[in-house]
Amino acid sequence: MKKLFVLLFSFVSITCLAQLKYIGLTGGATFANQKWNFKTLDVTQRMNYKIGGNGSLYTEWGDHEAFTWIFEGQYNQKGAKGTDLISGNNFISKTNYLSLNVLLKLRADFYTGAPYIVAGPRIEYLFSQGGAPVGFSPLNISASLGAGYDFYISNFIVPFVEGIYNPSFTRMINNDTYAVKGKAWEIKAGIKFRRGAGKRGPRNRHNDCPPVYL
């Protein structure tokens, strides 16, 4: 089953990579949080949200009527605010990540726009860290689950808005004192440009009329 999934994913990816549909940019806000498991106290605590920013280079591949693939290189400011139950000190954790996001996008096209949902894995590299604690893992594996809307203002320029839930699969810290996992909510706005000015855009596919014979 695992080999079948890998082969299917590879086939779909290769097929879609032959057709770059859009390239664009996104920017927005990230509301990040962490859950700490204090091993010596046998206590789990959810910290307070920290607000940061995010931005990405966005590409969308494939020309299917219902789904496309998104490959996104993103910078994201994460972290949390809270109290270390062992030391009693308040802290702000600052973790900034560079990530590769791979998303399957499922949409419903209308003349003025398209609501859609996205889901896929995310590989995050710890670009920098500050505050307390230190010792975060350089790599983090997480998921992206979300929804958005494409605004069809023209055939070649498409603004969009998007909300993403981003829970971690792996522990950001795992030592003898505590284990830390994170999650984040992202609100993004972006603009993308259709590749190939001579190609059919999203609006004129709704302008087609059947032939009339007299």
**pLDDT tens per residue, the chain (214 residues)?**
555 445 545 555 555 555 899 999 999 999 999 998 888 888 888 899 999 999 999 999 998 889 999 999 999 999 999 887 777 788 888 999 999 999 999 999 998 999 999 999 999 999 999 877 778 899 999 999 999 999 999 989 999 999 999 999 999 988 888 889 999 999 999 999 998 755 555 655 555 544 445 5
SS3 content of the chain, % helix, strand, coil (to 5): 10, 65, 30
Number of compact structural domains in the chain: 1
Does residue 99 form part of some domain?
yes
Does residue 56 form part of some domain?
yes
Rg over alpha carbons for the chain, rounded to the nearest Å, is 21
Does residue 6 form part of some domain?
no
Does residue 11 form part of some domain?
no
Which token pair is 44?
């789990």
Does residue 213 form part of some domain?
no
Domain range holding 61? 20-206
pLDDT of residue 199: 52
The CA distance from 111 to 4, in Å, is 37
> Hey, how many other C-beta atoms are within 10 angstroms of the C-beta on 7?
10
Q: Which CATH number characterizes residue 25's domain? A: 2.40.160.20
Does residue 10 form part of some domain?
no
Does residue 12 form part of some domain?
no
Does residue 214 form part of some domain?
no
Closest-CA residue to 52 (of 189, 144, 184) = 184
| Eight-state DSSP code of residue 13 | H
The CA distance from 158 to 197, in Å, is 13
Helices (H), ranges, the chain: 2-17
